[in-house]
């Protein structure tokens, strides 16, 4: 099946408007019939829509728009699933390049953010779930030393770990005492930073170098791991760290990997024909603990690949992929960017279309067509 025909066939199973369950009985889904939907919500216009986080305890998702440094407040329904409203608020100067977002544990209800061009870290109060209430900037921390270009930020105890995309560093800084910091030299361009759930070491994906930086936070020793084809998404998952590969400017390879505690990497490659060349940008694991994950394929590097979400199911040991489920986003060439699992759905930011997509289903893990490994 060629790509265009496949795209048309998948759109027949998607919905471009919120689902309606009220109405006459004949209009409702039959009991026990699984139903999948993709709903796209238009956000306030921006050239680049990036990161997203769920604020604990509130029916609220925050989305960063880098091109104009706006923070979008997205209100959910009381169940925390359906999008009800969205409004963008400026957070700093328009040229500051708001990007990274991370929930704070040390400051409950607050969120850390980065100004990539402003070269600072921000502690932000979202000001509740009312989308009309502007967020408040509580603190700023300037990037110390020769560091430049904070991209990702994550809070780990008393320290923030930050990728510095301009100067090619990884920064570890005490957010209570910013004079206590350390810069680790990396290679172009550090994107994500994550702590290994087994070893406690920190890793950073460096897409332009096609390497992953490994950092021992106790000894401060570093090492570079060679990987193929531009690592971007790097997240802690069950028992291991996981990395997604974007691929080249021509195509992806549908490849992602599991980094074990000793630093060895086991690689997995998608087998379904429609995503065997996917450029994988992000990965997120099932919050319910089922052995499964979502992979985000993006057209950010190549117009010849699909913007797509792939649900992969693993064996209990996460050593083998036993199923793939493919959902193509209705808006193609949107440079799909980040994933955020909710209890019964998945949110996706679309970088260039000012759009938040939501995937819902009554039954995940249905087989894709063609099945993994089938000829096209």
pLDDT, tens digit, 9 for 90 and up, residues 147-171: 999 999 999 999 999 999 999 999 9
N-term to C-term CA, the chain: 6
- What is the C-alpha separation between 49 and 69, in angstroms, rounded? 10
**H runs (alpha helix) in 31-158:** none
Residue 336: how many CB atoms within 10 A of its CB? 29
The token pair that represents 198 in the structure block: 């087994």
In this predicted model, which residue has the larger pLDDT, 77 or 371? 77
| Those residues with Cβ within 8 angstroms of residue 37's Cβ, 6 or more apart along the chain or in another chain | 14, 15, 19, 359, 360, 361
Expressed in percent and rounded to 5, the helix, strand and coil fractions of the chain are: 5, 45, 50
3-state secondary structure of 110: coil
Residue 370 lies in a domain: yes
pLDDT at 25: 43
Q: What is the dihedral of CA 149, 150, 152, 154, to 10 degrees?
A: 160
- What is the C-alpha separation between 77 and 139, in angstroms, rounded? 30
pLDDT at 296: 97
pLDDT tens readout for residues 56-115: 999 999 999 999 999 999 999 988 888 999 999 999 999 999 999 999 999 999 999 999
Q: Which residue has the tokens 């000001």?
A: 127
Phi, psi for residue 25 in degrees, rounded to 5: -60, -35
Residue 139 lies in a domain: no
In this structure, are strands 222-226 and 355-361 parallel, antiparallel, or unpaired? unpaired
- What is the C-alpha separation between 100 and 122, in angstroms, rounded? 10
Residue 326 lies in a domain: yes
pLDDT at 239: 86
Residue 274: how many CB atoms within 10 A of its CB? 25
pLDDT at 376: 35
The token pair that represents 376 in the structure block: 């096209």
Sheet holding 98-103, edge to edge: 98-103, 111-115, 120-125, 136-142
Q: Which residue has the tokens 């050239």?
A: 47
Domain range for residue 337?
266-376
Residue 359 lies in a domain: yes
Residue 334 lies in a domain: yes
Give the number of domains in the chain.
1
Phi, psi for residue 85 in degrees, rounded to 5: -160, 160
Residue 292 lies in a domain: yes
pLDDT at 241: 97
pLDDT tens readout for residues 240-278: 999 999 998 888 999 999 999 999 999 999 998 889 999
Residue 14 lies in a domain: no
Residue 373 lies in a domain: yes
pLDDT band with cut points at 50, 70 and 90 for residue 37: confident
Residue 138: how many CB atoms within 10 A of its CB? 12
Q: What average pLDDT does the segment 132-145 reach?
A: 98
In this predicted model, which residue has the larger pLDDT, 363 or 219? 219
pTM here?
0.88
DSSP per-residue codes, 153-191:
EEEETTEEEEEETTTTEEEEEESS-TTSEEEEE--S-EE
CB 120 within 8 A of CB 161: no
Residue 27: how many CB atoms within 10 A of its CB? 9
pLDDT at 20: 28
């Amino acid at each position: 099946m060629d790509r265009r025909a496949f795209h048309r066939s998948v759109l027949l199973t998607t919905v471009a408007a919120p689902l309606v369950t009220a109405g006459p009985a004949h209009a409702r889904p039959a009991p026990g019939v699984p139903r999948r939907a993709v709903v796209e919500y238009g956000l306030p216009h921006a050239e680049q829509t990036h990161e997203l986080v769920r604020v604990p305890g509130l029916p609220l998702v925050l989305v960063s728009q880098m091109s104009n440094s706006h923070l979008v407040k997205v209100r959910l329904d009381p169940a925390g699933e359906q999008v009800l409203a969205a409004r963008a608020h400026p957070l700093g100067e328009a040229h500051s390049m708001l990007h990274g977002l991370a929930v704070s544990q040390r400051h409950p209800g607050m969120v850390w953010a980065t100004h990539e061009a402003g070269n600072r870290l921000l502690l932000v109060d979202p000001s509740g779930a009312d989308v009309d209430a502007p967020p408040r900037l509580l603190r700023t921390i300037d990037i110390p030393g020769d560091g430049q270009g904070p991209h990702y930020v994550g809070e780990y105890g008393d320290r923030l770990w930050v990728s510095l995309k301009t100067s090619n560093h990884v920064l570890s800084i005490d957010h209570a005492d910013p004079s206590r910091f350390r810069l680790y030299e990396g290679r172009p361009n550090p994107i994500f930073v994550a702590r290994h759930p087994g070893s406690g070491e920190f890793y950073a994906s460096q897409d332009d170098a096609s390497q992953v930086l490994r950092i021992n936070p106790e000894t401060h020793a570093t090492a570079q791991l060679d990987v193929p084809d531009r690592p971007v998404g790097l997240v802690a998952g069950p028992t291991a760290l996981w990395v997604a590969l974007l691929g080249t400017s021509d195509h992806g390879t549908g490849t992602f990997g599991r980094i074990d505690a000793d630093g060895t990497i086991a690689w997995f490659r998608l087998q379904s024909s429609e995503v065997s060349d996917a450029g994988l940008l992000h990965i997120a694991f099932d919050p319910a603990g089922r052995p499964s994950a979502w992979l985000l394929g993006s057209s950010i590097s190549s117009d010849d690949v699909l913007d797509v979400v792939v649900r992969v199911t693993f064996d209990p040991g996460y050593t083998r992929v036993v199923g793939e489920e493919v959902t193509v986003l209705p808006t193609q060439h949107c440079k799909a960017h980040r994933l955020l699992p909710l209890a019964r759905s998945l949110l996706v930011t679309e970088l260039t279309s000012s759009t938040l997509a939501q995937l819902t289903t009554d039954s995940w893990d249905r087989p894709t067509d063609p099945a993994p490994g089938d000829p096209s």
